[in-house]
Amino acid sequence: MRDKASEKAVSRLIDEFTRLRKEQSLSHEALARKTGLNRSAISLIESKKRTPTILTCFKITKALDISLDTLIKKVSADS
C-alpha cells in the first residue's frame, strides 16, 4: 500500500532541492561534483524518476549548504 502523504512530502523535498540548486546557479553537473553523485542521478531525482535515499538527501543538503532537518521542517511547515 502506498503512503500518499509520504510521497507528497518527498516530492516537496525534491522541489526544494531543485529550487535551492537553481537559486545558487548550480548546474546538475556542478551539484553532482559537490555531492559525489553523478549528473544523471541528480537529474533523475529532480525529475522524480528516482527517490533519493536518506544518505543522498544528506549529501545534497550539505552541498546546498542547508541542513536536512531544516529543510524537512520547512517542507513540513509548508503543507
Q: Output the tens digit of pLDDT for each of the chain's 79 residues.
A: 578 888 898 999 999 999 999 999 999 999 999 999 999 999 999 999 999 999 999 999 999 999 999 999 988 887 6
The answer to whether the beta carbons of residues 2 and 61 sit under 8 Å apart is: no
Q: Residue 1's pLDDT is what?
A: 54
pTM for this entry = 0.90
The answer to whether the beta carbons of residues 68 and 61 sit under 8 Å apart is: yes
The answer to whether the beta carbons of residues 28 and 71 sit under 8 Å apart is: no
Residue 39 identity (one-letter amino acid):
R
User: How far is Cα 53 from Cα 67, in angstroms, rounded to an integer?
Assistant: 15
Q: Residue 27's pLDDT is what?
A: 98
